[in-house]
Amino acid sequence: MHATIESGAGPRPYDGFDAMPIAGEWRGGRSGETHADTDPWSGETLAEVPLADRSDVDDAYAAARAAQPAWAAAPPAERGAVMRAAADVLLERREEAVGWLVRETGGTLAKAELEWSLVRSVMLEAASMPHHATGRIMPSDVPGKESRVYRRPVGVVAVVSPWNFPMQLSNRALAPALALGNAVVLKPASDTPVTGGLLLAKVYEEAGLPAGLLNVVVGSSGEIGDALVAHPAPRVVSFTGSTQVGEGIARKAGVKRLALELGGNCPLVVLDDADLELAVDAAVFGSFFHQGQICMIANRVIVDSSLHDEFVERFLGRVRALRVGDPAHAATDIGPLIDRSRLDAVREKVRRATAEGAELLTGGEPGGPTGLLLPPHVLLGTNDVATAREEVFGPVITVIRADGEERALELANDTEHGLSSAVITRDVERGARFALRLGVGMTHVNDSPVNDDANTAFGGEKASGIGRFGGAWALEEFTTEHWVSVQHERRRYPL
């Protein structure tokens, strides 16, 4: 563990991350291939994981199907107690979890601490969900007939999560799905197998979750991805990741409920009456938190012409003061990108944007022990340059001038994506009216597009996905309604 992450007395750290929980036991995958899980900052190998193959996926689903009915029949208080126990375990293992998040994702200490708190909040909220899965009585026009609607778990849920917020984006589906009486088969990203799945499985196991209910399969998408989503066992597939992969899942999943949170190209709009200090604060956080590797990050800042030049001057001053370096140091604002392919993709988009006429105001060459540390980049450009029209997923922001509110709205909506957005204005009702004209799933007035509220996570529109995530919406995603009619009086049929 990095020396800057304090150590102290606590439970013995988890080990055994060279195995995964499948069918009630921890074992290596059968593919014959091993994945080296590495630290993006130092390059250190954190774990060697024998990868799963399709037979492991079959075993995981068979175990989930077998274990789920008894779990669904357990009293709500019993399922809720496991969620509360998991939150207690995570609290006791806070230092351990935060350390893994820093090392495995390259995220800063501040990002890791925020993610840890979000995960624990979701566990605590999930603890109440078993008692909220209520049915209802519907009116009937047939004399003596009673129509009841029972809310039941869907059965088995497949969860496929990404590497950028791995623990939170796995757990926001995992915790409510389990709490509501389902079993889960989870595939974390290969870049973050521990924080995205294996560490969570250890937490739930320690909290008393019965064996077989949570299966984690770590494997390449090419080997097990199609098998995971096309398998007949899951009734819901929950996926967070790129639009391209999400579209593939939609084609392959068959007749299943899909919850897809996909890519974004989120605008932060600064209207002519904005508080510039607030706008700059929101733009710095909204553009560069976790190196910009968040689907809800501000990809574009659209600023009214009357404020544009002053905004750029203040914004540049703040960005140039950001501290770039070892993510385990508390003072670091920006750490490394997740891997070389991500770094190359980000730099290529910057290159194309400048070739298309964008002006690079600040930037720099990559550095750090692994060469993955990219300084923050700010460009001035139009909505048509590569860094504005495409999701960058790196520490890069394009500032765009807009002549008036209507033009700002037009620019904000001129994208295939519709995930998150933000608008800065001194008139909050004006901001709310502007928000309702945006073709997105989420808009934050006088805040950044990055939603850090675990209890109100939502979803996107257009190419940014379908379905809703988190909070009360999880109750709808992971349960189904069963209509049962009871005829109390003998009736006369028309035939």
**Residue environment code for 348-365, b if the CB has 16+ CB neighbours within 10 A, otherwise e:** ebbeebbeeebebbebee
The residues annotated with a catalytic role in the active site are 261, 295
Please give the C-alpha separations between residue 58 and each of 28, 64, 193, in angstroms, as whole numbers. Answer: 15, 10, 19
Tell me how many degrees the CA angle 75-77-81 measures, rounded to the nearest 5.
Answer: 125
Residues 6+ apart with CB under 8 A from 125: 175, 176, 454, 455, 471
Pair of tokens at residue 130: 């078993």
Which of 310, 271, 303, 305 minimizes the C-alpha distance to 287? Answer: 303
Please give the C-alpha separations between residue 297 and each of 23, 420, 458, in angstroms, as whole numbers. Answer: 37, 8, 14
Distance, in Å, from the CA atom of 193 to the CA atom of 50, rounded to the nearest integer, reads 11
Residues 6+ apart with CB under 8 A from 389: 265, 383, 415
Amino acid at position 39, single letter: D
Pair of tokens at residue 363: 């930037």
Distance, in Å, from the CA atom of 262 to the CA atom of 370, rounded to the nearest integer, reads 29
* Run of H or E including 328: none
Residue 362, SS3 per DSSP: strand
Any alpha helices (H) in 219-304, and if so which ranges? 226-230, 243-252, 276-288
How many beta carbons lie within 10 A of that of residue 255, not counting itself? 6
DSSP codes, 23-71: TTEEE--SSS-EEEEE-TTT--EEEEEEPP-HHHHHHHHHHHHHHHHHH
